[in-house]
Structure 1
Amino acid sequence: MRLTGTGAGVLATSVVLGGGAVSLASPALGVVTVATLLAMASAVLLVASAPRLVASLDVEATLVRRGDHLTARLRLPPARPLLRLAVELDTPDFGPAVEAEAVGPPRDSGTPWTFRLRATRHGTVSLGPPVLTQTDPFGLCRRRTSVGSACRLLVGPATVDLARMPVYSRPAAFASGRGTTADSGETDTLRAYELGDDIRLIHWPNSARTGEILVRRHITPQAREFVVLHDTASISYASEEDFEAAVDFSASLVAAATARDIAVRLATTTGEASRSWSEGDRCTAYDLALAFAAVQLRGPGAHEARGEPLPLGRHVRTGLVRAAACTVVTGEPVPALLDALRESALPGRLTLVCLGPRRPDEAVVRWAQERGAVVVDAADARGAAAQWSAWSGARR
């Protein structure tokens, strides 16, 4: 509870009048001073003893995609009779992740105050709680109180459509044959070498006999997993918008894989617990939003200051060893990440997706040539999706 500007002025005036009444021995000034102080005391007591009101915040949805709009309504308690406190509903605090635009009457106690909201970041967002300001009839004193409770909003990534997925990530490419067993890890068939294949899989005797480079294909069930490795290091992104674009594309990969019955694992470079979906699992919008809520920007680690490779974490390495392919989604990859991706434990089929305003530099191009990886670069998720679909279609 605090005095308003008017209340502070009245209090200062009463102090001056009181000093004048004492120094001039003026009864009239003394009466005015007492009357002013009584008015101030009445205002303070009225506001302090006023019952606390409750306003409700209603949101039309609790799950939205980043960039989508939704409506929120704040309802004020009904008006009181004579000598009631003036009640004003403050603009709610929706946080930095939500843009809010008032489209309804801000001070009408009979009509809800309507807001048009737009989430700019993915994750869990807290809306509110509403704050009411109660003021005495003279406008001398006010009290601001949080009323009701905050609403939780789950904001999912803004996924884009991927028309194709590479043939290597399809379960059919790993169908067993020739009487082999899933546990044996024996060669299933031979096929022509494709850009990005691990050279260790080349079958040299048959390649020499046929004159065409052939690679072995195994039937180990664990090799069916498609890994999406998301870079969450803040140093890799020029802005938060670039990071959000990368999250949108990573989520699009997961959604496209699960829609095609492809086993997929989501992991991060800074070691958050990974999430996986088996063949046939369905990934709903809620599952996708919940899985990516933990994928947030992380500060640079000590390894970057020492110039060491990025430590991917044991559970990430384990998943990568079993993977048929890995797609790394980043902004502008730092040397620590590229050094980590040079390790032989990563799968042969490796794709690097760079989302940002600048093209990948020469270090990234050299790394891709050494690693036999494919680089997809675009300014946003839609541009990356177009390149991805064109590249995937060329592999069929």
Structure 2
Amino acid sequence: MGITIRGVGLLVAAVVLLGTGFRFAYPELTLLGAAAGSAVCYAALVAAWRPRLAVDRHADPDRVGRGEPASMTLTVRNTARLRAANLLAEDRCGDQAVPVPLLRLRPGTDTTVRYDVPTRRRGVVRVGPLRVTRRDPLGLVALSRPYGATVPVWVHPRIHPLSAVPTGAGRSLDGRVDAVAHGSITFDSLREYVVGDELRRVHWRTSARVGELMVRENVDTSLPRIVVLLDNRAAAHPDQRDGVAGSFESSCEAAASIVTAAHRADLPATLLLVVPAAAEPATRPGDGAARAGRSAVTRAWAAVRGRWRAGAGDAGDAGVGSAGGPLDRLAAVALVEEDDALRATAARLRRDPLGDTLVYLTGPGGRGDLGHVGALRGAYPSVVVGVFGAAEPAPPGAAGLVVIDAADGAEFAAEWDGVRRW
């Protein structure tokens, strides 16, 4: 409950009048002071009345690409039986306040408000709760209460259609095989039997030795595997405005487009961050390919936010996904500047290769670190680098890599489809 300036003045006047009236025996001043105090008490009782409202909101749609239209439909119903609601209300939509008319809302009736949700910036736009302010007729006391839950609207990067997908070169214990969508089935590991497994895959010799059913786990070694490495270091994206680096947003668009194209082609893909999360999911590329869906994509990419260092502005969390489909797992990560982060990540990828095609996406500040990525050519037959927002294009054949210089995600998609050698 908050008392207004008018209410504070009237309350002070009541105290002064009552004190003066009793001190100097002026019944008129005492009566005026009592009336002023009674008005403040009445105002507090009126504002303390809690209206019975039911709030329902619906986002259409609740997952959109950056810049796409999205709207929120808010319905407020007066569930009281006798009293009409005459209130002031506003709905929170991100950083904005949307006024909601609740004047003379009769019992059992409702009012509907529809407004646009800002989608100019990628992230999670929190809509709600509805703030209802109850005032007395004299404007002495105002009391605001929240109604309804908060509904998130996921704004993910623009996904540009890619017609070309790297074919890669699959590996197995039998040697290198042709890069085709269908190929041999090669033994990978043994695991415990679960209900639904085919009995022909049971390894009876091992089952007899361990005392329980063990099943052979096979992999398609000829299926290309794509690894997307997103450079999330602050040093790689030095140009920022209002806490947002345009090159980083373009890198997110390119990474989302590549992972989505791989998912549509039924190819396993893994998304990694240069600065890894504290609890990054340890999954092999290809795990959960059938489980991933559009919901996981939008939630993951909307959560990819950064925490820039002092002087850069915005703060937030970032998400990372790793799986066969487009990002079906999330983990928190801070967008910080570490000089040896890329070197450590490259060493880990060289020691434990996750695929046969590596795509490295960075900003203008990461051009000087292409040597660390070029050293991965021994572990990855195909390495593609995307540099966003650089003032000058990289020299041809830099570090022996396929380098794509682009200003934004759309230009990257056009250059990507024009690559003839992976």
Report the counterpart of residue 267 of structure 2 in structure 1. 262
Deviation of the 1:149 alpha carbon: 1.2
Q: Which amino acid aligns with 2:174?
A: S
Q: How does 1:205-224 map to 2 (within 5 A)?
A: 221=221, 224=224
- Structure 1 SS opposite 2:175: coil
Report the counterpart of residue 403 of structure 2 in structure 1. 375
Q: How does 1:277-292 map to 2 (within 5 A)?
A: 277=286, 284-292=293-301
Count of paired positions: 341
Check 1:153–1:318 CA distance in 2 against 1; reply closer, same or farther (3 A cut): farther
Provide the rounded CA distance (Å) in 2 between the counterparts of 1:377 and 1:234.
19
Aligned 8 A contact 2:51 2:80 in 1: no
Q: Which consecutive unaligned segments of at least 5 residues does structure 2 have?
A: 180-219, 307-333
Deviation of the 1:31 alpha carbon: 0.8
Deviations, residues 230-276 of structure 1 (Å, cap 9, x unaligned) = 11223322232522222111110111222233332221111243674
Aligned 8 A contact 2:223 2:267 in 1: no
Provide the rounded CA distance (Å) in 1 between the counterparts of 2:403 and 2:134.
60
Provide the rounded CA distance (Å) in 2 between the counterparts of 1:339 and 1:223.
28
- Structure 2 SS opposite 1:112: strand
**Residue 353 (structure 1) aligned with residue 386 (structure 2):** yes
Q: How does 1:21-170 map to 2 (within 5 A)?
A: 21-22=21-22, 25-51=25-51, 53-78=53-78, 86-92=86-92, 94-95=93-94, 102=98, 106-108=101-103, 109=105, 110-166=110-166, 168-169=167-168
Check 1:277–1:5 CA distance in 2 against 1; reply closer, same or farther (3 A cut): farther
Check 1:36–1:90 CA distance in 2 against 1; reply closer, same or farther (3 A cut): same
Q: Which amino acid aligns with 2:375?
A: E
**Structure with bigger RCO (C-alpha 8 Å, 6+ apart):** 1
Report the counterpart of residue 231 of structure 2 in structure 1. 231
Aligned 8 A contact 2:255 2:361 in 1: yes
Residue from 350, 357, 363 that aligns with 1:331? 363
Deviations, residues 340-368 of structure 1 (Å, cap 9, x unaligned) = 42434652422211222x3257xx649x6
Aligned 8 A contact 2:53 2:78 in 1: no
Provide the rounded CA distance (Å) in 2 between the counterparts of 1:91 and 1:53.
14
**Greater helix content:** 1
Deviations, residues 84-103 of structure 1 (Å, cap 9, x unaligned) = 674211231x335xxx685x
Report the counterpart of residue 253 of structure 1 in structure 2. 258
Provide the rounded CA distance (Å) in 1 between the counterparts of 2:374 and 2:83.
75
Q: Which amino acid aligns with 1:39?
A: A
Provide the rounded CA distance (Å) in 2 between the counterparts of 1:281 and 1:82.
54
Check 1:310–1:20 CA distance in 2 against 1; reply closer, same or farther (3 A cut): farther
Deviation of the 1:5 alpha carbon: 2.8
Deviation of the 1:16 alpha carbon: 3.9
Q: Which consecutive unaligned segments of at least 5 residues does structure 1 have?
A: 175-180, 190-219
Residue from 357, 373, 376 that aligns with 1:341? 373
Deviations, residues 110-155 of structure 1 (Å, cap 9, x unaligned) = 5322220133444544321221111123221111111121113333
Report the counterpart of residue 216 of structure 2 in structure 1. none
Q: TM-score, normalised by structure 1?
A: 0.72
Deviations, residues 3-51 of structure 1 (Å, cap 9, x unaligned) = 1232223223323433543565422121111011011112112323535
**Greater strand content:** 2
Deviation of the 1:312 alpha carbon: 1.5
Aligned 8 A contact 1:327 1:350 in 2: yes
Root-mean-square deviation (Å): 3.7
Check 1:343–1:328 CA distance in 2 against 1; reply closer, same or farther (3 A cut): same
Check 1:133–1:351 CA distance in 2 against 1; reply closer, same or farther (3 A cut): same
Aligned 8 A contact 2:89 2:101 in 1: yes
Check 1:317–1:130 CA distance in 2 against 1; reply closer, same or farther (3 A cut): farther
- Structure 2 SS opposite 1:37: helix
Provide the rounded CA distance (Å) in 2 between the counterparts of 1:28 and 1:68.
67
**Bigger shift: residues 9-18 or 323-332:** 9-18
Q: Which amino acid aligns with 2:391?
A: R
Deviation of the 1:187 alpha carbon: 7.0
Residue from 299, 311, 317 that aligns with 2:344? 311
- Structure 2 SS opposite 1:165: coil
Q: Which amino acid aligns with 2:7?
A: G
Residue from 151, 154, 175 that aligns with 1:185? 175
Check 1:350–1:182 CA distance in 2 against 1; reply closer, same or farther (3 A cut): closer
Deviations, residues 323-354 of structure 1 (Å, cap 9, x unaligned) = 22211112224378545424346524222112
Provide the rounded CA distance (Å) in 2 between the counterparts of 1:130 and 1:105.
9
Aligned 8 A contact 1:223 1:322 in 2: no
Provide the rounded CA distance (Å) in 1 between the counterparts of 2:70 and 2:147.
22
